[in-house]
Structure 1
Amino acid sequence: MTATEPTPTPPAGRDSELTWQTSDELRRLYARREVSPVEVAEAHLSRIERLDPQVNAFVTVTAERALADARAAERVWLSSEAAAVPPMTGIPFALKDLVPTAGIRTTKGSDRFRDWIPEHNSPLAQRLLDSGGIMLGKTTTSEVGWKAASGNRVNGPVRNPCSPEHTAGGSSGGAAAAVAAGFATVTQGGDGAGSVRIPAAFCGVVGMKPSTGVIPYFPPTPLGSMVANGTLARTVADAALLLDTLSGPDYRDPTSLPVVAGGYRAACDRAPRPLRIAYLPSPGGRMPERDIGDAVAAAVRRMRHAGHRVETLDDTPADRFDLLHVIWTTGFASLFPGGGDDLDPGLAAVIRDADRFTGADLAAAHLARQHYKAAMSEFLAPYDLAVTATTAVAAFGADADHPRTVAGVAANYLDWAWPTYAFNLTEHPAISLPCATTGSGLPIGIQLVGHHHRDHDLLAAASALAEVVRVE
């Protein structure tokens, strides 16, 4: 086994310019005075200007802010010892367009918020904007994050940097596309049913949904503790670095958790050890498309060959889309009472479906979710982590809301995303790693699921397994 995480390789035909450096590499370059944060910011802004019209990762590019941030970071690096420089100083990042940012347009992917400029930052935004990093802009999302693709009426769909006719996924599709295309080193995303991990898998990058409460969530969401803010990057270490920056309690979110000693980025440097792994080829009793399942099964064989103890488990807790659907539809109906013709048609249909449910139905769904959470925790208890496919399908068409079928079975707006939404219902931390590609070259992700509030252990395992599972 090895603790060395593979260095991301730019897509064929692209050189290793400044936009492809990891955070560790950028910090080394800054410390040696070989490059300045201003040069890095200019390189990223230039790349966005040239290529984002074909990708549509950004709703708003904050070029003036990025250059000001870069100049401030340059002053810190020139006046400080490297060890004293805060970790994010000079690192290019972006925020999802659902996150309120004071003075910066935040559309939520909705006509109703097309020109909204918030007066206050969310706690998450404040932490990132104060981190010393380089703020590049706001990334495209589906309308209020309702679907696992990123098309909206404000600026259209996000196209997959690996295959522009396909979606980047969602709802954090712009965030995943930004790191996959070399537009940003790290990005933030929100994950209510897979909205970080699905686009990470579709775009071939790393996406981490931490345990509920690791990153404070405010303003609050009607979906409650199913939703967690997460991180995207090209390496596990960079995803963990951003998690360090965003984690910690905030008085506006009473469920937010204290900082755990040791740091998430430091966990990635632990010496690897043999892991007890539960392999779930059909989580919830449902099968992914064959090429997805075959790729994950091959990655599991590589885990065994690397010395890990893997047990295949078919009798998993049953899929509970029924619970998700009640919570999802009523939650979005609470945001837009009565719906409206100015909403995404798919979102309007979801809101109309909420009329079928009573308050007692919603309460029963939340109660059943707690039982499901306990059952899944008991099921996973003997193992260090569980492994599934991240998604049941590879990226579908850029203009579609969802795949029409999975393994020949009809799919609706979200019931195709069972490998991810299961762990929003249960609140377990989960991370998607690049695994392989389909025969047509579309990325495939593998999902690692950890135990509640043991995110450090999950990141340590992910860092050790990233090279094992990936086929170039």
Structure 2
Amino acid sequence: MSDTVPREADLTAPTDDLTWKTAAQLRELYARKEVSPVEVAQAHLDRIAQYDEHVNAFVTITADRALADARAAEDEWRTSETAPARPLLGIPFALKDLVPTTGIRTTKGSARTRDWIPSADSPLAQRLLTSGGALLGKTTTSEAGWKADSGNRVNGPARNPHSLTHTAGGSSGGAAAAVAAGFTPVAQGGDGAGSVRIPASFCGTVGIKPSTGIIPYFPPTPLGPIVANGPLARTVADAALLLDVLSGPDHRDPTSLPHSPGGFVRACKRPPRSLRIAYLPTLGGRTPEETVSGPIAQAVARLEDAGHTVNVLDATPHDRFDLLHVIWTTGFATLFPDPGEDLDTGLAAVVREAACFTGADLAAAHLQRQQYKAEMSEFLAPYDVAITPTCAVPPFAPGADHPDTVRGRPANYLDWAWLTYTFNLTEHPALTLPCAATAEGLPIGIQLIGHHYRDHDLVAAAAAIETTVRNTSMPSFKHPLPELI
């Protein structure tokens, strides 16, 4: 690693450079023949080469593949008489290092699979590649995505581009860091307890966890329907573009649902309307750190000033970490029945805890989760969207399994993430938007929750309030987003 550590402003401040263009802007530039996809891919690869040794967003960089993809896209843009239909044509993107890709090392963040070369693409990788995107590489994740930091024994944790002494979050920490640092305009992540939304919040990006079945999930997971893949981007519109590419049925996942092509991008263009908002400052009966909750309350006040109807609801369904704990420990014990010394120490401890549970315990957890899902659905029914902070704490040290405490209460491997895992348990669609920053310049995200299978409505609401919730007056809020909108 270079002895010269870059300033965070170098990593997050906007410029006119191609690496800070949105995917939508790049498509316009390609259509006008003003920029080449090869130029764009090379600009992103150059920025990765300059800064990623400090951020550690990537495990594997696929420079040759990215340039080959970009050359093919350049030919298609040049020879087409009209704008090509493929939505990501020539757009750089990154895949989380849990997603199988043919011929490309996929470590899963594990010493056990550090040299695994898959022989087939997952449906998710297939869709991104056939949509014309240029694959930059595979992003840093915790081992099998087990925790909400990206630290692992293969390449270590991703660092927050806003402060290299803090975590980018996880498990999709490399994906969020790559987007926030200008390494890629869009990236894919996976979310089983907040693993898209937590790093998106920590890094100041947009992150979406859709309803179960919107994006097909294969290979299957023992964690079942609480896990979903989702996009990370710098704007809601770009996240919607990626969500359109990823959505739709696949025969390998019989729970996957039909999708209208381009529906999420169209949802972003709906005329804004007044929303009925449920603000849940103490979701589950628990309170976030004041560093986080204060700025979120200010953002909610701005929404009210903008004409939305806000109801503050303190009495909410109770936190159900007990259900997550049973499903999480037994699921990872299925993946790692032998928690040996080569396994991440924290993950091995989680796997060993699975021995405390019986098959009846797991069945009861799934039954109670369905009851909890119904309870939350009924609670949210009168509102268009619900709002919470995305995270209960600001970013902590990189590589740590979890923060030490939340409001003085000791934290364990995931109970501190109740604001996100709640909606994995209930399968509601949820997304995070950058909202504010701490005095130290660390981003704070605001979470929007929608109704089951009304993901288009949630995306439309997020697009409508995106500029309202983002407070750019804070002098420490160094982020490219305001200048991209």
Deviation per residue, 1:161-194 (Å, 9 max, x gap): 0000000000000000010000001000000000
User: Which residue type is aligned with residue 67 of structure 1?
Assistant: L
Tell me what 1:6 maps to: none
* Residue correspondence of structure 1 range 402-421 to structure 2 within 5 A: 402-421=402-421
* Residue correspondence of structure 1 range 44-443 to structure 2 within 5 A: 44-260=44-260, 263-443=263-443
- RMSD across aligned positions (CA): 1.1
**For structure 2, which runs of at least 5 residues remain unmatched after alignment?**
1-8, 473-485
C-alpha separation between the residues in 2 aligned to 1:104 and 1:12? 29
The answer (yes or no) to whether the contact 2:11–2:161 under 8 Å persists in 1 is no
C-alpha separation between the residues in 2 aligned to 1:470 and 1:353? 41
TM-score by structure 1 length?
A: 0.97
Deviation per residue, 1:330-375 (Å, 9 max, x gap): 0000111131110000000000111100000000000000000000
The answer (yes or no) to whether the contact 1:104–1:118 under 8 Å persists in 2 is yes
The answer (yes or no) to whether the contact 2:149–2:400 under 8 Å persists in 1 is yes
The answer (yes or no) to whether the contact 2:12–2:161 under 8 Å persists in 1 is no
User: Which residue type is aligned with residue 385 of structure 2?
Assistant: L
User: Which residue type is aligned with residue 461 of structure 1?
Assistant: A
Tell me what 1:452 maps to: 452
**For structure 1, which runs of at least 5 residues remain unmatched after alignment?**
1-8
* Residue correspondence of structure 1 range 9-24 to structure 2 within 5 A: 14-24=14-24
Deviation per residue, 1:392-415 (Å, 9 max, x gap): 001000131110100111110000
User: Which residue type is aligned with residue 70 of structure 1?
Assistant: A
Q: Which runs of 4+ in 1 moved over 4 A?
A: 9-14
Residue 129 (structure 1) shift: 1.1
User: Which residue type is aligned with residue 369 of structure 2?
Assistant: R
C-alpha separation between the residues in 2 aligned to 1:304 and 1:78? 48
The SS at the match of 2:284 is: helix
The SS at the match of 1:353 is: helix
Identity value in percent: 72
Tell me what 2:483 maps to: none
TM-score by structure 2 length?
A: 0.94
C-alpha separation between the residues in 1 aligned to 2:444 and 2:119? 40
Residue 11 (structure 1) shift: 6.0
C-alpha separation between the residues in 2 aligned to 1:410 and 1:36? 52
User: Which residue type is aligned with residue 310 of structure 2?
Assistant: V
C-alpha separation between the residues in 2 aligned to 1:16 and 1:422? 40
User: Which residue type is aligned with residue 214 of structure 1?
Assistant: I
Tell me what 2:4 maps to: none
C-alpha separation between the residues in 1 aligned to 2:280 and 2:261? 31
C-alpha separation between the residues in 1 aligned to 2:262 and 2:135? 27
Residue 82 (structure 1) shift: 4.1
Aligned residues: 464
Higher mean alpha-carbon deviation, 331-340 vs 444-453, is at 331-340
User: Which residue type is aligned with residue 182 of structure 1?
Assistant: G
C-alpha separation between the residues in 1 aligned to 2:85 and 2:130? 13
Deviation per residue, 1:1-56 (Å, 9 max, x gap): xxxxxxxx986655220000011110111111111000000000000011000000
The answer (yes or no) to whether the contact 2:200–2:445 under 8 Å persists in 1 is yes
The answer (yes or no) to whether the contact 2:128–2:245 under 8 Å persists in 1 is yes
C-alpha separation between the residues in 1 aligned to 2:372 and 2:14? 46
Residues 135 and 316 (structure 1), Cα distance of their counterparts in 2 relative to 1, 3 Å cut: same
C-alpha separation between the residues in 1 aligned to 2:251 and 2:451? 25
C-alpha separation between the residues in 1 aligned to 2:300 and 2:37? 40
The SS at the match of 1:171 is: coil
The answer (yes or no) to whether the contact 2:31–2:83 under 8 Å persists in 1 is no
C-alpha separation between the residues in 1 aligned to 2:262 and 2:246? 15
The SS at the match of 1:149 is: coil
The answer (yes or no) to whether the contact 1:77–1:85 under 8 Å persists in 2 is no
